[in-house]
A = this chain, B = another copy of it.
Amino acid sequence: MSHNTDPNNLANNFAKYTALPRTVKIKKVVDETRKIKTFFLDTKIWAAPGQFIMVWIPGVDEKPFGLSYIGNDTAITIQPKGKFTKKMLGLSVGDRIGVRGPYGNGFTLKKNACIIAGGCGIIPLAPLAEMIKNCVVIIGAKTSEDLLFIERMRKASELYIATDDGSSGAKGYATDILRKLLKEKTFDVIYTCGPEAMIKSVFDIAEEHGIETQASLERFMKCGFGVCGQCVINGFRVCKDGPVFSSEQLRKMTELGKFARLKSGRKVTVKEYYNWRS
């Protein structure tokens, strides 16, 4: 009978269009660096690397986070910035947070890839590296203490490291290593995530060499599903059209590395955006 089906069906339909945080417990907490922690969640989220979830701390706020581990061991990895992340870093095993998603698109998997990350940018790229296998990974950070997922990446890839102060790997920028590698070989794709200035340099280098780029961008988000317009960079919604963008899209972004929008929607320089509230 078409007019009265079983409750599970009702629940399923409901679920399909529902975007409400569902509460999950923190299962395990791992210290990654002095400051950065990984939170394993008591749920399994199946997503493409690069997709993100909205994380709600009841009574505090809700923010987007990429998945650092996907599927059976689902986890997010958090770097302290402002109120929300500091609150999050104070949570322990058994505490409850809300999650919704996954949202956005993910990276498209290709072989012969180079992954280049700045600081926390490695978070969504780590599961990607593990999936691709045998790719080149370049990680840049300020100091050796800020390096994230080094052992993990060493296992999965041909790893290069750069630090600003030379305390680990080469002294200098990750992009220096990329330039050097490109003298000897080429890649079918460069995946990148990190500070937007770095992303911009990586993209410029890739364009010089005619290599496809897939870059994961960050903007302040509200809905996470493409209606409010808060997260736009030019006409693109980072939450829905991204967070991973193709070379073709990046080329159209006159704001890339230059402008971003605060919570009010005010357009400011990327620098001012990063310093906002800090």
Q: Which of B1, B5, B13, B19 sits near A3, CB closer than 8 Å?
A: B19
Report the minimal beta-carbon distance from A15 to chain B, rounded to whole angstroms.
Answer: 8
The copy count of this chain in the complex is 2
At the interface, yes or no: A16 with Cβ under 8 Å from chain B?
yes
Indicate whether A173 reaches chain B with its CB closer than 8 angstroms.
no
Cβ contact within 8 Å between A16 and B13: yes
Q: How far is the CA of A15 from the CA of B9 in the complex (A)?
A: 13
Query: Within the complex, what minimum Cβ distance (angstroms) separates A24 from chain B?
Result: 16
Interface centre among A5, A13, A19, A101 (most CB of B within 10 A): A13
A45 to chain B, nearest CB (A): 10
Let me know if A278 is at the binding interface, CB within 8 A: no
In chain A, positions 100-156 with a C-beta closer than 8 Å to chain B are 101-103
- A residues 5-64 touching B (CB-CB < 8 Å): 5, 9-10, 13, 15-17, 19
Closest 4 CB pairs of A and B: A13-B13, A3-B19, A3-B225, A5-B16
